[in-house]
Amino acid sequence: KAGVTQTPRYLIKTRGQQVTLSCSPISGHRSVSWYQQTPGQGLQFLFEYFSETQRNKGNFPGRFSGRQFSNSRSEMNVSTLELGDSALYLCASSLRILPYEQYFGPGTRLTVT
Amino acid sequence: QQQVKQSPQSLIVQKGGISIINCAYENTAFDYFPWYQQFPGKGPALLIAIRPDVSEKKEGRFTISFNKSAKQFSLHIMDSQPGDSATYFCAASRGETSGSRLTFGEGTQLTVNP
């Protein structure tokens, strides 16, 4: 079974621009969660989508948004990029059956200049 | 209330030794405690996980010890190998209430010398 895939793997954007990242979950997994990983803040939860609905949201500004499609694929968008948004963005998929084991993709490395 | 504290920040062990990483949590509602292993340039990989109804879980060379009353859990890596050199993260979640939301520890950089 193929793992979680994320595209693109690397991205360089300029401050003020917006960016869209994509995630395809493991086949059969209907829950997708997004995390931001930085050296200073570690791994922080952004949001979770299940059945095309946002189920949980972390403590991030409204510039961070996401959506999920009927095939469970998910996208996250960051508008008006700031230098501090430079991070590894990780997507994790889950069956959303307790205990909600999550499997991570390789991440998208976003650099904002 | 949502924090998970992890120690040590870095750990150096000789090949064949035991690596021990500790985590402490505050929120007693947490009911799922996974450990993840992350290599440079890769996403975190689920290593082993435990629920609070058991005090220990072993999978191969990896063992989780769980102390519910102390709100602490630890990862033991027996017979540590150079290939185990990676960053390890503990995490916790509240299951039904918070869905897939994981709260992570700060991470431990493990180096196993040959």
CA–CA gap between residue B40 and residue B48 (Å, rounded)? 19
b/e A42-70 (16+ beta carbons within 10 angstroms → b): bbbbbbbbbeeeebbebebeeebbbebee
pLDDT-derived band of residue B100, with 50, 70 and 90 as boundaries?
Answer: confident
CA–CA gap between residue B6 and residue A113 (Å, rounded)? 32
CA angle B72/B76/B78 to nearest 5° reads 170
3 state DSSP class of A72: coil
Measured between CA atoms, how close is A66 to chain B, in angstroms?
A: 15
CA–CA gap between residue A69 and residue A74 (Å, rounded)? 6
Is residue A39's pLDDT more than 60? yes
Contact check, Cβ <8 Å, B101/A58: yes
CA distances in angstroms from A10 to A20, A86, B77, B78, B110, listed in the order given = 12, 11, 33, 36, 26
Q: What is the largest CA-CA distance in chain A?
A: 41
CA–CA gap between residue A59 and residue A71 (Å, rounded)? 27
Mean pLDDT, residues A44-62: 93
Q: Are residues A94 and A101 in contact, defined by beta-carbon separation less than 8 angstroms? A: yes
b/e B83-103 (16+ beta carbons within 10 angstroms → b): ebbbbbbbbbbbbeebbbbbb
Q: Are residues B26 and B2 in contact, defined by beta-carbon separation less than 8 angstroms? A: yes
Closest CA to B86 of B20, B21, B39: B39
Residue of B nearest to A46 (CA): B101
Residue of B nearest to A54 (CA): B99
Residue of B nearest to A32 (CA): B100
Contact check, Cβ <8 Å, B46/A102: yes
Name the average pLDDT for chain B. 93
3 state DSSP class of B84: helix
Q: What is the pLDDT of residues A85-99, one digit of tens each?
A: 999 999 999 987 767
> Which residues in chain B are contacts of A90 at CB distance < 8 A?
43-44
Determine which of A43, A46, A72 to mutate to test the interface with B (most B C-beta atoms within 10 Å): A43
Contact check, Cβ <8 Å, B95/A98: yes
Q: What is the pLDDT of residues B7-34, one digit of tens each?
A: 999 999 999 999 999 999 999 989 899 9
Is residue B87's pLDDT more than 90? yes
Contact check, Cβ <8 Å, A33/B102: yes
Q: Are residues A84 and B84 in contact, defined by beta-carbon separation less than 8 angstroms? A: no
Contact check, Cβ <8 Å, A96/B96: no
Place of tokens 């999920």: A68
CA–CA gap between residue A7 and residue A3 (Å, rounded)? 13
> Which residues in chain A are contacts of B59 at CB distance < 8 A?
none
